[in-house]
Structure 1
């Protein structure tokens, strides 16, 4: 089978031929039909000291199961988070991190919706949204952000503001249902938001915090780092909440499953529509990474073997 790999920090990415892996206890072997490309994986390729396995969300058909697997069998369509090599024709999923793909959804729908949607919904839940509030979503055109804009509305926000890096993304974010769209180069977003869902971090934390109304909440879920001054929290009685999806997935599988079901329910109801920026062939994984690095995508970037 084909697999994408790299040998040193920063790449380049290349295809190699390797044997098809065998599922171990509690694992499923999946023929990949779609593979999600995420910013955290792209960052690890460029920043990690040692090469990593290119993992992430995958969707496809189960072709074999290991011992102790009880919920799935060959032929079923599934999606889940692969902790090993996911940029491949075949990949292994842990049963606990796997869920079925409904008949009315494609594999591309699944990778565009489930993992990114779980992050968006988890960050939104951490913000403790109340009906009638104003939400601000940074990276609003990203794989996670474009779903967060829609979910904020579904959870009762009466005003949703999207923040983007490029004015060319305004129409895309407005079409998602955002009432206003602002760009990062503005010093004052004037959002008066009750909560901010921040998927960027770094220098953007300062304007994101300033955009909060007194008593507002900023949820930071980005791997981009950044620093916040305590005084900026004190003067407006504002708070910052960190959210990490892995903590929920490992520590509260019941909640993880509940969120998955909510995403599919909203999808079927037409209230949550995942958008795909572009589908790349497996051999073009480097181009997919370049799209994420340049922040030029509007929606999810997907590899299709």
Structure 2
């Protein structure tokens, strides 16, 4: 089978395609014939920044072709999606059965990688903000794979005003089409009227202006891998708060909640209320192009690899 790998950190140019044997599922694992792979910013960052190469894992969707010892509830032919921690940029991948979710009839593998993992992160970040009906929201990286879903979910959960923060003005029409009332770019000195909560997928230098954008008693949910620092005084003067959110903790520690969120996402998708957008689909041998799109922050929605 073909898979994408790299041997040293750097930009997209370090990725290469290789032929390797199809893996065999171990205990608790599914062997999946991969039909779609979601490209994420954390993986792109790790390729560029981490000293030691990692397996290019992430969101996959496809058909189960074999199951490992002890697996129940899954069988060859089932269509599933989930997060793989080993090699995922590949024609076949090993997925822990505990991380696998069914793909409903009528939904494509691309639908699944655009909706499920990104949607779960967006949903969980919104839940962590404890939104009340009528409150105002600001979503950073609002045109990203997660952000464009968070923007829609904030509205669906009753936000009275939704502000989309994006890297450049060319994304304004895209996020307005998904329900944003206002659009701001990161380089603005002021981000407009304060909001009750911020869902931040960027971190780094954007944390400080995101905190300033909060109204008194406002909440910022940080779910980015971009790091950053918040000054305690900036929280103190407005009685503001910051909470971190990580999807993996929910998947491992609250599987019943993970499953309930997943079901609701598919219901919202089936009803047409939640519209996952796909920026582009790239073949496996163009994984470097997919990474360049993410690095440039030029995507409007999800970037997907098709093995």
Contact 1:31–1:61 (Cα < 8 Å) also in 2: yes
Deviations 1:249-289 (A, max 9, x none): 11111111111111111111111110000000000001100
CA-based RMSD of the aligned residues comes to 0.7
Secondary structure at 1:182's aligned position in 2?
Answer: strand
Q: Is 1:245 matched up with 2:247? A: yes
- Give the aligned partner of residue 2 of structure 2: 2
Q: Is 1:301 matched up with 2:303? A: yes
- Give the aligned partner of residue 218 of structure 2: 216
Contact 1:124–1:197 (Cα < 8 Å) also in 2: yes
Where in structure 2 are the equivalents of 1:102-181 lying within 5 Å?
A: 102-181=104-183
Contact 1:120–1:148 (Cα < 8 Å) also in 2: yes
- Give the aligned partner of residue 42 of structure 2: 40
Deviations 1:99-132 (A, max 9, x none): 1001121100000000000110010000000100
Segments of 4+ moved more than 6 angstroms: none
Secondary structure at 1:301's aligned position in 2?
Answer: strand
Of 262, 287, 290, 2:289 maps to 287
Give, in angstroms, the shift of residue 191 of structure 1.
3.4
- Give the aligned partner of residue 65 of structure 2: 63
Deviations 1:215-262 (A, max 9, x none): 000000001111111111011110000111111111111111111111
- Give the aligned partner of residue 235 of structure 1: 237
Q: How far apart are the structure 1 equivalents of 2:106 and 2:178?
A: 21
Q: How far apart are the structure 2 equivalents of 1:195 and 1:248?
A: 21
Secondary structure at 1:88's aligned position in 2?
Answer: coil
Number of matched pairs: 305
Structure 2 residues not aligned, in runs of 5+: none
- Give the aligned partner of residue 200 of structure 1: 202
Q: How far apart are the structure 2 equivalents of 1:20 and 1:145?
A: 34
